């Protein structure tokens, strides 16, 4: 089993494993004792809050061979930060909501249906996905459209391995990714903040680029629920919302998919959403960013790199006006 089974027959962590009792009780004591009125007190409060909701260290390990071709030398984001500061609107809109509420997600059993313009449509379970290609560890930068970034060691393999298996037809111009939208498991789906299910998409050549990754883990373990368990994509040259989480369907299409954020606010979120410091979001600059877990409150923000520092994807957009196709 990828995720360990419990005596209750459910292959998902108990609430006590997401927030261990000793951490919860220590947090309560800590909160009572500290003064939160100052900036330092507020920062400590945030640290305690994150530690309390960090994923249990008892997650299943994933053996993966590091791929030196996909390693950035930036300092890695601490595990606690990467698992407690997330965007995953299916569990709420606050950055701490996914870690707090994602314990209800059941990552096993799980299947992904692959359909549309392919010669070999199929449905794959997690075991099949784990065996589809050798697992690699890749250390990628991930840049959020809101102006923050992380550096995370992902476990998985190139998305192109999946495309090769299902053999897209000549009509396949795009790939659509559909996330789970279960109101019982995902409380945020009850909110009209987005059109559900969450949908993202790529051009077929983008999906075939070696950097595009099908991720099944991070930090040498299976994906925590709040980070998109049990399977997601990772696109390090695009803003983070393009990397669809908890995927249940992959559809190959002739037409460009209607993606969640592009439908919700097309003037703010384009289909491509490549990291571009020269194209601002309508409400803020994209020229700089704050590195979570490394850049403090008073640290000068770092400059954002074109394509998030992955220039090898530039040929995909040769001749395109990237201010128009944002």
Question: Is residue 308, in this structure, part of any structural domain at all?
Answer: yes
Q: What is the pLDDT of residues 147-156, one digit of tens each?
A: 999 999 999 9
Contacts of residues 109-115 at CB distance under 8 Å and 24 or more positions apart, as own/partner, are 109/11, 110/230, 110/231, 110/248, 111/248, 112/231, 112/247, 112/248, 112/249, 112/250, 113/248, 113/249, 113/250, 114/162, 114/166, 114/249, 114/250, 114/251, 114/252, 115/249, 115/250, 115/251, 115/252
Question: Is residue 44, in this structure, part of any structural domain at all?
Answer: no
Question: Is residue 38, in this structure, part of any structural domain at all?
Answer: no
Quick one: how far is CA 275 from the chain centroid?
15
Question: Is residue 41, in this structure, part of any structural domain at all?
Answer: no
Domain with residue 162: its CATH number is: 3.90.420.10
* pTM, full prediction: 0.83
Least confident of 41-50, 216-225, 272-281: 41-50
Collapsed DSSP state (helix, strand, coil) of residue 200: strand
How far is Cα 214 from Cα 236, in angstroms, rounded to an integer? 12
254-273 burial: b if 16+ Cβ within 10 Å, else e: eeebebbbbeeeeeebbbbb
Residues in the chain: 326
Domain hosting 68: range is 62-317
Question: Is residue 26, in this structure, part of any structural domain at all?
Answer: no
Domain count, the chain: 1
Question: Is residue 127, in this structure, part of any structural domain at all?
Answer: yes
Strand partners, 161: none
Question: Is residue 310, in this structure, part of any structural domain at all?
Answer: yes
Confidence tier at 271 by pLDDT (50, 70, 90): very high
Confidence tier at 299 by pLDDT (50, 70, 90): confident
CA gyration radius, the chain? 20
Question: Is residue 28, in this structure, part of any structural domain at all?
Answer: no
Q: What pLDDT is attached to residue 58?
A: 61
How far is Cα 313 from Cα 207, in angstroms, rounded to an integer? 11
């Amino acid at each position: 089993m990828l995720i360990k089974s419990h005596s209750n027959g459910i292959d998902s962590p108990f609430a006590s494993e997401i927030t261990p009792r000793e951490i919860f009780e220590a947090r309560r004591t800590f909160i009572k004792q500290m003064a939160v009125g100052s900036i330092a007190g507020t920062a400590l409060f945030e640290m305690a809050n994150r530690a309390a909701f960090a994923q249990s260290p008892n997650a299943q390990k994933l053996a993966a061979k590091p791929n030196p071709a996909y390693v950035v030398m930036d300092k890695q984001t601490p595990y606690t930060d990467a698992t407690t500061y997330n965007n995953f609107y299916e569990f709420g809109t606050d950055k701490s909501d996914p870690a707090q509420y994602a314990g209800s997600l059941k990552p096993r059993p799980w299947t992904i249906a692959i359909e549309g313009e392919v010669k070999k449509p199929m449905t794959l379970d997690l075991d099949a996905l784990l065996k589809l290609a050798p697992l690699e560890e890749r250390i990628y930068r991930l840049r959020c459209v809101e102006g923050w970034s992380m550096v995370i060691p992902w476990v998985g393999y190139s998305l192109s391995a999946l495309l090769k298996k299902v053999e897209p037809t000549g009509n396949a111009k795009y790939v659509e990714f559909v996330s789970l939208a279960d109101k019982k498991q995902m409380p945020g789906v009850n909110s009209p903040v987005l059109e559900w299910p969450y949908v993202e998409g790529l051009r077929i050549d983008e999906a075939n680029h070696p950097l595009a990754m099908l991720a099944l883990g991070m930090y040498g373990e299976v994906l925590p629920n709040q980070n998109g368990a049990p399977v997601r994509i990772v696109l390090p040259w695009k803003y983070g919302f393009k990397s669809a989480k908890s995927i249940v369907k992959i559809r190959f299409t002739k037409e460009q998919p209607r993606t969640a954020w592009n439908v919700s606010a097309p003037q703010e979120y384009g289909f491509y959403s490549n990291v571009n410091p020269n194209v601002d979001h309508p409400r803020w600059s994209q020229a700089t960013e704050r590195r979570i877990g490394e850049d403090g409150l008073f640290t000068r923000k770092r400059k954002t790199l074109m394509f998030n520092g992955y220039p090898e994807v530039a040929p995909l957009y040769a001749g395109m006006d990237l201010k128009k196709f944002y």
